[in-house]
Amino acid sequence: MDKSLPIAEGRAPFDPNPEDRAQSIRDSLRDAIVDRRLAPGTKLSEAEVGTLFDVSRTVARAALQMLAFEGLVKVERNRGAFVSDPTPEEALQVFASRRLIEPGIIAAVIERVTPADIRAFRAHLDEETRHKQERGAAARRAEIKASGDFHLMLAAVAGNAILQKFMDELVARSSLVISLYGRSGASSCGHNDHADLLVAVETRDVPRAQALMLRHIDHIEADLDLRTKEGLTLKDALAL
């Protein structure tokens, strides 16, 4: 059994809350996936996950099942669970979905945001820019994660639990897609979309905020290189 998977990092040494261990395993695995510490296609065997987190296969399997529901892993019958490897088409669908949902979220945010929320957003933005200035792969990972968290904060303020869950899934899948197809290291290269968005929220300018949100999603998507990489190489190598 190979213990080289770098996935058990964010886990608490001994369950702080004795509640649902499967949930916390899922969170650790999800972090590892969106952080690209686990490459798409990696096999996640029940036994391996179980021993790494020191639980039985039963609860390891439950965690993998949860991730399958979110689309972060694919389970193939009698074959096991693999970190999902979204196709370019799936990538486009992720952003198409976000284009529908996030303008609505931003409108709800403007309706409900409190001064305390604004302060929290500002603090988060500061941290984001801090990560952006640092160097190294770890800082890059932290930046991508923080960027996603900004959208999750918006979803939380919007106050719709269902949309929040959808955004949870969409942001996670986006991170996966960016890590696969992202051209530059960072999602928002050069742009300051989040800061602009926050200004529009503060001034309660709904149309502008929605337009900025759509533009922001355009920017993220424009940074992707969705030309299929593998799969064609075979044909290339043989025929051409």
Partner DNA sequence: TGAAGCTGGATTGGATGCAAAACATTTCTG
Partner DNA sequence: CAGAAATGTTTTGCATCCAATCCAGCTTCA
List interacting residues with DNA (CB under 7 A).
1, 20-22, 43, 45-47, 55-59, 61, 75, 77-81
Q: Min. distance of Cβ 98 from DNA in angstroms? A: 31
Q: How far apart are CA 97 and CA 108, in angstroms?
A: 17
189 is a site residue for its own copies (CB under 8 A): no
Q: Min. distance of Cβ 122 from its own copies in angstroms? A: 27
Q: How far apart are CA 22 and CA 199, in angstroms?
A: 39
Which of 96, 138, 195, 232 contacts its own copies by CB under 8 A? 96
Nearer to DNA, 78 or 228 (CB): 78
Residue found by looking up tokens 């886990």 in the block: 11
Q: How far apart are CA 208 and CA 75, in angstroms?
A: 42
Q: Which does 90 bind (CB under 5 to 8 A by kind): its own copies, DNA, none?
A: its own copies
Residues in contact with 213: Cβ distance below 8 Å, sequence separation at least 6, in sequence order:
102, 103, 106, 197
Q: How far apart are CA 236 and CA 240, in angstroms?
A: 5
The binding site for its own copies (CB under 8 A) comprises 19-20, 62, 65-66, 69, 71, 77, 90, 93-94, 96-97, 99-101, 103-104, 108, 160-163, 166, 169-170, 173
